C-alpha cells in the first residue's frame, strides 16, 4: 500500500520542493500534495513514475509508515545559515540511514549503548570523566568511529547528495546515532565525531540540544576529549609557533587550528602568539584544509564486519538495497562508501540466531 510519509522523505532527501518534483515528473503540485497528505492514492503507474524520478524502487513507496526525525531532536552546527531545504535533506537522509540500520539490527546483535549522561558536568569535566570511564588515559584517541561503535553508537555517513551538510547526532528511541558529512578533512571529521559525542553526553534527551551555547559546549567537549589537558601540557607548547603546532598536532589527529585553539584555551599561548600562529597557519592553507594531513578518513569497523558476514552468507549491500527499495550506490554511500562485492544471489543463512559482532576498540 502506498505510504505518503515515504514520498515526503524520498522527495526531501533530494532537497526537492513539491514544485521541483512536479517539474521532474510532469505531475501537478496539487496532485503531489494530495499524495503526500494522504488525501488521494496514486495509481501504480504514478507510483512507478515517482519512484523512477526519485531514484528508488516502487517498493520503497509501498512500505510501512516512516516516522520523520523531528527537527528539535537534532542540533545543527549552523542552523541560522542553513536553508530549510538543506536541513530537511539532512534529516530525510538520516532517516534513510536509520532504515538501513533497522535492517542490519534485524539480522545482527550490535553493541548496546553504554553512553553516560553527564549533563551536570562542564564540557571539559565530562570529557575527562568519559576518558576515565572508557580507559583512554591521556593519550590520543585512535579511531574515533570504532570507539563510538564499540560503545553502542551507530555511525553512518551522509555522503549522498549532502556535501554541504555538517555532522549531526540523534537519540532515536534509545539508540544514539551520529551522522557524519563527507566534505571535510579527516582531522575535521574526527573533531565532528567528537563534537557529536559531546552532544550525546552533555545534552541527553532531557535537555534541548539546540542553540549557540550547546554548539560551544560540544566544541569544548570535543577539544578536551581529543586533546586532554595533561597530554597537551606535556608537549611543551608554551607560546608555540605555527611550525611547532604543526609538529605537535600529528599526535592527536586533529586540525592545526584546533590544537592552536586548545593551547590558547589552556593558557599556553598569549593572545598575541595565538593570533600570530593563526595568521601563519592560515597563510599556509590550514584555515580551509589540512595540507599534508591524515591520508584517509576513518571508516566503520562495525559496518565492515556486517558486510563481511553478509557476503559469507551469500548476500550483501544488494540484498539491503533490494529489501529497502533503495539504489545500491545510495546504500553504499551511507556505509562509508564500503564497496559491495558481486554475488551470485545465493540464499541467506538459515539460522534464526542473530550473530553477535565483536568489536575491538
Distance CA 233, CA 238 (A): 9
Q: Which x/- pattern over 67-106 shows residues binding Zn ion (rule: CB under 5 A)? A: --------x-x-----------------------------
Interface size with Zn ion, residues (CB under 5 A): 4
Q: Minimum distance between the CB of residue 169 and Zn ion, rounded to whole angstroms?
A: 8
Among 110, 218, 246, 310, binds Zn ion (CB under 5 A): 218
Decide whether 141 or 169 has the Cβ nearer to Zn ion.
169
Provide the minimum distance between the beta carbon of 218 and Zn ion in the complex, in angstroms, as a whole number.
5
165 belongs to the binding site for Zn ion (CB under 5 A) = no
Q: How far is the CB of 205 from Zn ion (least distance, A)?
A: 16
Q: How far apart are CA 197 and CA 203, in angstroms?
A: 10
CB nearer to Zn ion: pick between 139 and 211: 211
Core vs surface per residue 85-107: b (16+ CB within 10 A) or e: ebbbbbbbbbbbbbbbbebbeeb
Binding mask 177-216 for Zn ion (x = CB under 5 A): --------------------------------------x-
Q: Based on the number of CB atoms within 10 Å of its own CB, is 288 exposed (0-12), middle (13-18) or buried (19 or more)?
A: exposed
Q: Between residue 341 and residue 360, which ones bind Zn ion under the rule CB under 5 A?
A: none
Tell me the closest approach of the beta carbon of residue 192 to Zn ion, in angstroms.
Answer: 9
Name which of 77 and 85 has its Cβ closer to Zn ion.
77
Residue 246 in contact with Zn ion, rule: CB under 5 A:
no
Nearer to Zn ion, 13 or 220 (CB): 220
Provide the minimum distance between the beta carbon of 97 and Zn ion in the complex, in angstroms, as a whole number.
18
Report the nearest approach of Zn ion to the CB of residue 242 (Å).
28
Q: Which residues bind Zn ion (CB under 5 A)?
A: 75, 77, 215, 218
Amino acid at each position: 500500500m502506498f505510504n505518503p510519509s515515504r514520498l515526503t522523505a524520498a522527495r526531501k532527501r533530494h532537497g526537492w520542493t513539491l514544485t521541483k518534483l512536479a517539474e521532474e515528473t510532469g505531475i501537478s503540485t496539487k496532485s503531489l500534495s494530495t499524495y503526500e497528505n494522504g488525501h488521494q492514492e496514486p495509481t501504480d503507474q504514478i507510483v512507478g513514475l515517482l519512484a523512477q524520478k526519485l531514484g528508488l524502487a516502487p517498493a520503497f513507496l509501498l512500505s510501512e509508515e516512516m516516522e520523520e526525525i523531528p527537527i528539535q531532536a537534532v542540533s545543527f552546527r549552523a542552523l541560522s545559515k542553513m536553508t530549510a531545504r538543506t536541513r530537511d535533506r539532512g534529516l530525510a537522509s538520516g532517516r534513510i540511514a536509520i532504515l538501513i540500520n533497522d535492517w542490519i539490527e534485524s539480522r545482527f546483535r550490535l553493541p548496546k549503548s553504554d553512553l553516560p549522561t553527564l549533563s551536570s558536568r562542564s564540557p571539559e569535566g565530562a570529557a575527562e570523566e568519559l576518558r576515565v570511564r572508557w580507559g583512554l588515559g591521556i593519550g590520543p584517541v585512535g579511531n574515533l568511529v570504532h570507539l563510538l561503535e564499540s560503545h553502542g553508537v551507530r555511525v553512518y555517513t551522509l555522503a549522498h547528495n549532502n556535501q554541504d551538510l555538517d555532522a549531526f547526532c540523534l537519540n532515536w528511541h534509545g539508540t544514539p546515532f551520529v551522522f557524519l558529512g563527507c566534505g571535510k578533512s579527516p582531522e575535521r571529521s574526527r573533531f565532528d565525531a567528537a563534537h557529536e559525542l559531546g552532544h550525546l553526553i552533555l545534552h541527553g534527551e532531557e535537555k534541548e540540544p539546540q542553540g549557540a551555547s550547546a554548539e560551544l559546549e560540544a566544541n569544548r567537549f570535543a577539544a578536551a576529549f581529543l586533546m586532554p589537558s595533561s597530554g597537551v601540557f606535556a608537549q611543551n607548547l608554551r607560546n608555540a609557533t605555527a611550525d611547532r603546532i604543526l609538529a605537535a598536532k600529528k599526535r592527536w589527529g586533529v586540525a592545526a587550528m584546533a590544537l592552536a585553539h586548545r593551547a590558547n584555551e589552556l593558557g599556553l599561548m598569549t593572545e598575541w602568539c595565538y593570533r600570530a600562529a593563526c595568521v601563519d597557519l592560515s597563510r599556509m592553507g590550514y584555515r580551509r584544509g589540512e595540507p599534508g594531513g591524515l591520508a584517509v578518513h576513518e571508516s566503520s569497523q562495525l559496518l565492515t564486519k556486517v558486510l563481511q558476514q553478509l557476503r559469507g552468507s551469500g548476500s550483501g549491500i544488494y540484498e539491503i538495497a533490494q529489501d529497502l527499495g533503495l539504489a545500491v550506490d545510495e546504500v553504499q554511500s551511507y556505509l562509508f562508501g564500503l564497496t559491495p562485492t558481486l554475488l551470485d544471489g545465493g540464499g541467506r543463512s538459515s539460522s534464526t540466531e542473530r550473530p553477535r559482532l565483536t568489536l575491538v576498540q
